[in-house]
Amino acid sequence: MPPSQAAAEHPIDATVWRVGGDAGAPLVPATGTGSLDGHTLAVKDLYAVAGHRIGAGNPSWLADAPVQDTTATAITQLLDAGAAIAGIAQTDELALSLAGTNQHYGTPPNPAAPQRISGGSSSGSASAAALGQASIGLGSDTGGSIRVPASYQGLWGIRSTHDAIALDGVQPLAQSFDTIGWMTRDADTLAAVAQVLLRHPATSPGDPVLNSEPALKIIPTLFDQVQPEVTEAVRAALTAQSGSGADGSAERSPQSPGSPIEEIEGVTPEMHAAWFEAFRIIQFREAWANHGEWIAHHWETMASDVGARFRMASELTADQEMQARALAAGARRIIRRWVGDEILAVPSAAGPAPLRADAALGGTVIEEHRRSTMLLTCLAGLAGLPAVNVPLRTRDHLPTGVCLIGPAGSDIALIHRAAAFHARIPAHQSYGSGVTETEIHETD
């Protein structure tokens, strides 16, 4: 269904859109023509759009925010390539969440699993893309805010190589990990955006280049954090690549061409936990440095879950940050060595999207799911590497995903490799070129 037709059939939903969202009247028209002619953007409410404020998912922040004089560089490039802005999409509060549950504006719909949450913090952008109300959901990814909602909603999504795309005009959360990312209903559109934004790959002399026939690597102990139905779906997708046995661990057979699967051994749960804690401390310290002064005068406006995280951030010390940075630097070297010129495959999230009924703000379900998921997502963040969500289905037809992590600067090649990966997966185990509200009928 074309985005304009889909949007015409859906009234403007304030949980998805803060400004705009009317397919018949784009918020900002294209400024040029090119490879993105006819495409529309749902812009996460962290990006500067000239003539509008940055709302950041909090009405008080919006009220204090100045009207922007200029538009973020990344958006300008997309407009020049022919895309138009459909509207400014809702985000989780100050982007410090992966759930999509916003106490002020509500939870955007998840058309692929209507009883479940959307995922965040690029929540409105993801829902707009999944609903067909925009063809490109433009967001950001610090700790998983592209990969998680893409996984929950059956979308393609990419976290770009750190520092590969200019972040000027984008409100920061934690600059050590912040990246631009986007979500689409098909791999071709994902790649088309990459061709516009990544004209100059972010590589350094000596950086590995993605192998033309890369092996797929997995970390078996990571699956200890993952719900069984997601483990099953990811293992099945890996098996489809290698022609290996049901556990996805054996080398490919001569009769079944594809990527071999290599297991990275000796990675303990304690190592995972220590790396995640280092990531969390750095992220929280930087988030507090960026927003603490404002939050200190607006605690009463913060949702309970996000407010609790900023409370923790306010209590962290410079010494804790220094120790975390030392550990993170070691993790970065190790993860990059693991990836090399191949691909590391990990589940994009620890489970399918939690049920809306269970997703009380700050509740146990969300917090436990957040931690388990970030044990997975922090790897690409710590290493500064690109990561693509390939949409999968569980046995019960719920959206999930496998995340393919490649070498620095390999973003475009990684998308093409992800598309080839997807093409090998049986149709009943994956999402195809798109997802509609009626494609999945949830039974739980």
pTM of the model: 0.92
Q: Encoding tokens for residue 355?
A: 């049920």
Q: What is the pLDDT of residues 300-343, one digit of tens each?
A: 999 999 999 999 999 999 999 999 999 999 999 999 999 999 99
Considering only 3-7, 116-120, 418-422, which range has the smallest mean pLDDT? 3-7
Q: What is the pLDDT of residues 154-184, one digit of tens each?
A: 999 999 999 999 999 999 999 999 999 999 9
pLDDT of residue 439: 38
Confidence at 23, pLDDT banded by 50, 70, 90: confident
Longest CA pairwise span in the chain (Å):
65
> Residue 263 has which token pair?
């297991």
> Is 401 in contact with 347 (CB distance < 8 Å)?
yes
Query: In sequence order, what are the beta bridge partners of 346?
Result: 403
Confidence (pLDDT) at 11: 80
Long-range Cβ contact pairs of 263-272 (< 8 A, separation 24 or more): 263/217, 263/218, 263/219, 263/220, 264/217, 264/218, 264/219, 264/220, 264/338, 264/344, 265/220, 267/219, 267/220, 267/221, 267/222, 268/221, 269/221, 269/224, 272/221, 272/222, 272/225, 272/375
pLDDT tens per residue across span 335-380:
999 999 999 999 999 999 999 988 876 677 788 999 999 999 999 9
C-alpha distances in angstroms, 369 versus 184, 423, 440? 24, 29, 23
pLDDT tens digits for range 35-67: 999 999 999 999 999 999 999 999 999 999 999
* Per-residue pLDDT at 2 exceeds 60: no
The yes-or-no verdict on residue 261 having pLDDT over 70 is yes
Among residues 307, 315, 403, the alpha carbon closest in space to that of 362 is found at: 307
Q: What is the tens place of the pLDDT at every residue in 202-248?
A: 556 666 789 888 999 999 999 999 999 999 999 999 999 975 443 44
Identify the pLDDT of residue 437: 34
Give the pLDDT confidence of 398-407 residue by residue, as tens digits: 999 999 999 9
